[in-house]
Amino acid sequence: MLVTSRFLSAVVVVAAATLASVAAQAFDRDITIDTQDGPRHALVVQAGGGPHPTVIVLHGALGSGTGTARTTGFAEAAARRDFTAVFPDGLDRQWNDGRTGKAGGPDDVGFIRMLVRQLVADHVADPRRIYLAGISNGGMMSFRLACKAPELFAGIGTVIANMPEGIVPCAARPVPVVMINGTADPMVPYRGGEVGLRGGRGRVWSVDKTAEFFAQRAGCGSRSAEALPHRDFASGTTVTQITWRNCKVNGGVSLYRVEGGGHALPGRRALAPRLLGASNFDIESADIILEAFDLDRPL
């Protein structure tokens, strides 16, 4: 039987893709950590052997670690930059982020501390370059961790999240911070106040107050605003990048203000846009955040 070179090339491509897929899956694993609140779980998408820069991604309320790995683009953005990505699960699909009016709850700060220790002990994470990224409730939890466990993290990235009002005092240290927020968010109000479509889910600072707080902590000087190229004409949204300059940290502090944006992850389709508002496709949230973390390289 005569086999053409084109057929052989196709076989080689398929085989290579299969091997790459198997190799990638070999580095993905679930880990379990015993805590005072019971067993806690996280999905680890490992960049390779030995310690790597690592981003811990916290899902939004009603989400999960696995779902966040599959749908948000953070796993892919991390892989492109040779980062390990970790996707833990909150108890009952939410995080105890410290908002006023939400007393009690699991010790999520303790859980993430234990998770970090495990990742370092297993030689998965480089302890100098462990970052946090969070969406909505997970973003608020990221701010809480920046305040209550600041020594663990080299940078923070959040999407559709503001600082919870209940976090006082806050011991945040100078780190790069990226925030992405929609001005028409009906769940987490841009100007701060009550969280939720009808309120009653605790209170948060405004976006501007949150960003200014971290810019001051990072020792930043002046700020500038720039309208980003507009590619997404269907949603009626645009993006303004506000950057604080002359900071003490690489990567600085940035706010991506989605003009007219709702409670949605830019770069991904909005869930229930009639209820939660429009998304935006001028930027990809995961890439924006991981790019800032990638700039934060040790000298």
H helix runs in the chain, sequence order: 5-26, 65-71, 74-80, 108-121, 137-148, 207-217, 273-276, 285-295
The pLDDT-based confidence of 19 (bands split at 50, 70, 90) is very low
- Does residue 78 have a pLDDT over 60? yes
* 15 has a pLDDT exceeding 50: no
> Which has more confidence, 269 or 152?
152
Q: What pLDDT is recorded for position 103?
A: 63
Those residues with Cβ within 8 angstroms of residue 38's Cβ, 6 or more apart along the chain or in another chain: 91
For 95-146, the pLDDT digits (tens) are: 999 997 666 799 999 999 999 999 999 999 999 999 999 999 999 999 999 9
pTM of this prediction?
0.89
Query: Sorting pLDDT into bands at 50, 70 and 90, what band is 18?
Result: very low
pLDDT of residue 157: 98
Tens digit of each residue's pLDDT (9 = 90 or more) over 38-49: 999 999 999 988
- pLDDT, averaged across the chain: 89
Q: Is the pLDDT of residue 160 over 70?
A: yes
